[in-house]
Structure 1
Amino acid sequence: MLASILVFLVFSGIVIFITGHWEFVSSTIFPNETWGLYSRSFFEGILSNAHGTIIDLFVIGLVIYWFEQRRSQHEEVQKENRSRERDEERSRISRENDVKRNRENLSDLRFYRQPDAPYRALGAIRRLINLGETGLEISEIDLSEFEINKLSITDSDLHATIFKNSNISNVHLNDCRCEAAVFVGATLTSTSFTNTFLHRAKFQNSVVRGMDFRSCDITYANFDGADLRSANFSGVDCKGASFHGANLRSANFIDAINLPPEVEVAAKELNGPKIERHRTP
């Protein structure tokens, strides 16, 4: 490309120089004598045509340069896209490896009962959540006697997971399976269960004040001795659930069904649970 430009500039310079000094050139180098078709007018025609060629080459050069720039820009964009795709692929592979490794760690910790079990399990859970993962397999993991806070777990299996004597705050379980989960002696604050399956869950002697259980399945759950003050069981099926010795002060059982006898008895006490049922007029 550079050589072509130099040739064009040299050619243009020579033609323009000869044209500008034509009187001198024609009288000195090409005198007025003629030889066949070679005459002053013949060379003047050549110079005129040379100027046309220069203009044509200049225009064509501009067009070629424009196309070349467009091609270079296109190649640069393609190069950037390929680089971005490679980076995204590396990131995807790295993420998949991290997800696989942490899920395997959780699987390995299912029946691990050493003192460091909660630390290792909670670390793997947080990393998976930070990776945007749902559907975690946390069943039968030991998270007892531990501080657990600021977690949002969705669509995950916490079957028989152990939270015994743990302090749980700002934890949100959404669409999770917590069947037979153990919350014995645990303290739950600013925590929520949404559409959570708590069938046969154990809350004995736990502190779950103000907890909203309206969207949960608590059948056959055990709340014996639990602090359930201001808890909301409105409209919930309490079949098989046990509340012996639970603090039900200001708890809400309005429209709940299959209430156990101990709730009915507590409702007659001052500030006991509310169990009114709406009647259709």
Structure 2
Amino acid sequence: MKTSTDGLLSYASKLSGFCVCFLAIFLLTACSKAEQPKPEAEIQLNAVVPPQLSIDAVRFDTTGLTGVESAPNTKRWTSGRALEVSLRCIEVPPDIPCSLSNKEGIRDYFRRCAIQGGGGLVEADVIKIGQVPCAKTIVKVPQQPSGTAYVGSITIPLAQGSYVIRVQSVETGITGMRESAILHNLTASGKVTISEGGVLQNWERDPYDPKIKGDDLVLRNQSEDERYDKLFPTHPLTRVRVALKAILRTIKLDKSVLMAPPFLGP
């Protein structure tokens, strides 16, 4: 079984463009293009220069986690093999193709990024932190030879850059127990059936668009519904959801973030 970081290196390497900034795990590289500086003569003397982004402007409770990295634009923590958490400050303007008011567009964007990295979308939503619109996502990434990694993200886009909080957990040991247990119950109740060709019916689907199908796609399955989390408290998806909720309960944004020019789209 690969470690959580090694198991996701291939996922990060498959991503391209701005998807790397927002969905890769600990190898984020910004590819959005910042505006070229204007000649000094064109700069208005009374222009207001936005404050530089600071990694310390976003804080949340890390009780139970051990810090393993603290750099100017990156902080990272771990609870051993169960969970890894990171905070990154990306000092280039976001290249998200729509404003966060376009929830369907946001979901489509993160879905494409997940597919591009060989994964699939579990959930994506638009939330607010202190009136700042943010994106909260969870993607799944199949691991080799077995198991699944789950990556949760809270993306705080601003006009001049972004903060990205990431939580990841990977199945270890005996894998697939949650899926097997829920699948057994749903087939026994007739809610999931098996076709003559041996294909499961009503087991997997895109969380927001039932028209999205394909044998080569990684789709969310019914066992990944949040209502089953309490039955599997140590499952990596449960760990990611619990960690994201804890972060959102305790997160504090500095005034420099709250007052920063917002991201309004391309």
**Normalised TM-score (structure 1):** 0.18
Flag the structure with higher strand content.
Answer: 2
More contact order relative to length (CA 8 Å, sep ≥ 6): 2
Q: Which has the larger radius of gyration?
A: 1
Flag the structure with higher helix content.
Answer: 1
